[in-house]
Amino acid sequence: MDRITVLCVDDEPDLVVLTASLLEAADERFETITETDPRAALERLESASVDCVVSDYDMPEMDGLELLGSIRSEYAELPFILFTGKAEALASAAAAHEVTDCVRKATDSGQFERLAARISNAVMGAPRRSQTSVSK
């Protein structure tokens, strides 16, 4: 079984740790890396083989779409899922920025299973970074 490495980015430390833990519980293939600073997430992409990025939108200094723009310039094929409470309001902007998927943060217990399924679908449909040369 291939591992799927997911980089979770959210400026709220408790929430990013919770997201990572529940994703790993939802799918045993997942291995998560967490960052609370989008700039640190960009640095992490330089040193780690990541299969998918899951990011909040509303973060100080750099929002999720700005983070995506920085990622796309280096890693054009890397799946990027926006995980936010503002999913509906951001739908058209997310599409314009070529977000792989947009999942609404919710209060129901099924949100992490839905997010895990979307991650799996995105990764299975994308070239693996280990098999793809990354253009820089």
Kindly report, residue by residue over 99-109, the tens digit of the pLDDT: 888 888 877 77
Nearest CA among 133, 136, 49, 54 for reference residue 99: 54
Residue 35 within a domain: yes
Query: Which residues are CB-contacts of 71 (< 8 A; sequence separation ≥ 6)?
Result: 42, 45, 53, 78, 80
Range of the domain at 57: 4-127
The answer to whether residue 130 scores a pLDDT higher than 60 is no
Residue 134 within a domain: no
Q: How many domains does the chain have?
A: 1
The answer to whether residue 134 scores a pLDDT higher than 70 is no
Q: Is 22 helix (H, G, I), strand (E, B) or coil?
A: helix
Residue 53 within a domain: yes
Question: At 75, which CATH number?
Answer: 3.40.50.2300
Kindly report, residue by residue over 2-56, the tens digit of the pLDDT: 899 999 999 999 999 999 999 999 999 999 999 999 999 999 999 999 999 999 9
pTM for the predicted model, two decimal places: 0.86
H helices of the chain, in order, are 13-26, 38-47, 64-74, 87-96, 111-124
